[in-house]
Amino acid sequence: MRRRDFLLAAPGLAITAMQRKPYTLEPYPAGMALRAGDGRTPLVYLTTRPEGSNLRANSACCFHPVTTPSGERVTDLAPGDHVHHRGVFLAWHSMTFQRKADFSRMGPTAPRYGLDMRRADFWGWGEFAPTADRVIENRTVRLDEPTDRSATLSIENSWNVGKQSLLQERTAAAWSERGDANVLDLTYTLTPEWTLILNQTAFGGFCARLRNDGDSWYESPGGRVTLPDAHYSAPELNWPAADWYAYAITLRNGRTVGCAVIDHPANPKSTWHNPRYVWMINPCIVADGPVNVAAGQPLVLRYRLVLFDGQPPGALVKSLAAEWRRA
């Protein structure tokens, strides 16, 4: 290359050299890690229970750790107060699967047809439905369309009762760096193979379980929340529907971090189970009544998480909420 041609090309070469490499997906203990081009690991999807973990739920299939732009972890896994909680996850603790079944083989006095039913708790609590042999099994985790600032994970899971799959889950998890925040957009598509009833309970469904090692508080579009705490046995005590709620915590190391969860208007109506003594954000679609899903018909749920350093950035969250709720 002639010197003149090299000098003309040099600015472009410099820009190329400064560009970060795109995100990659790499194996991680008990899961898959989303790795940034500069070596950071801002997000991990756990596919199995980590070895030595205190997690008592049968399933992992959750995002943990999830981090802020500075790299500070926001999520928690199997804390001592609730050993079945696991980062950012989706599950219910009172589910009924049912289908029409032929019972004539049971004898001449048996009814010809009846309902074959399976009760299930995939949350891991075990108070209202069985947890034994109820497992969310990961099938695949794939990386799609990575850039140096964003990437999407395509995840497939099977919700099994014993050896039988009763629900198929497809989740798109879109990660992006948005200046002062990291953003995780989640679209869950749940297709039951039998008719599904999500029974009425105060909590369950989508949950972000967050750190509790510091002084914490909640905020909403109206500012700091002063409502009484929700209670697991009383759906009427859940906090009212809102575009979003945020949780912030000042850690023992002096740093303040947090997470906002933004609802989507296409979701079933939610009230929010955000008890201060459980350190989680849980928009609950079954607090006002059960949700029925026909066999073969998808239930689609969409949520946006905003991970931040410092005090809750109300203006930024409101802007990202407006964007998400228009999508």
Structure confidence at residue 19 (pLDDT): 75
Structure confidence at residue 245 (pLDDT): 98
- At 173, list the tokens: 């998890």
Burial class (CB in 10 A: 0-12, 13-18, 19+), 223: exposed
* Residue 210: DSSP 8-state: B
* Under 8 Å between Cβ of 205 and 281: no
CATH number of the domain located at residue range(s) 23-92+122-326 in this protein: 2.70.98
* Under 8 Å between Cβ of 157 and 139: yes
Q: What is the pLDDT along the chain (327 residues), one digit of tens a residue?
A: 444 444 444 454 444 445 789 999 999 999 999 999 999 999 999 999 999 999 999 999 999 999 999 999 999 999 999 999 999 999 999 999 999 987 666 666 666 667 899 999 999 999 999 999 999 999 999 999 999 999 999 999 999 999 999 999 999 999 999 989 999 999 999 999 999 999 999 999 999 999 999 999 999 999 999 999 999 999 999 999 999 999 999 999 999 999 999 999 999 999 999 999 999 999 999 999 999 999 999 999 999 999 999 999 999 999 999 999 999
Q: Looking up tokens 């297709």, which residue turns up?
A: 191
Provide the strand spans (E) within 229-315: 244-251, 256-262, 271-272, 280-281, 283-284, 291-293, 299-309
Structure confidence at residue 4 (pLDDT): 47
Structure confidence at residue 208 (pLDDT): 99
What residue spans define the domains of the chain?
Answer: 23-92+122-326
pTM, 2 dp:
0.92
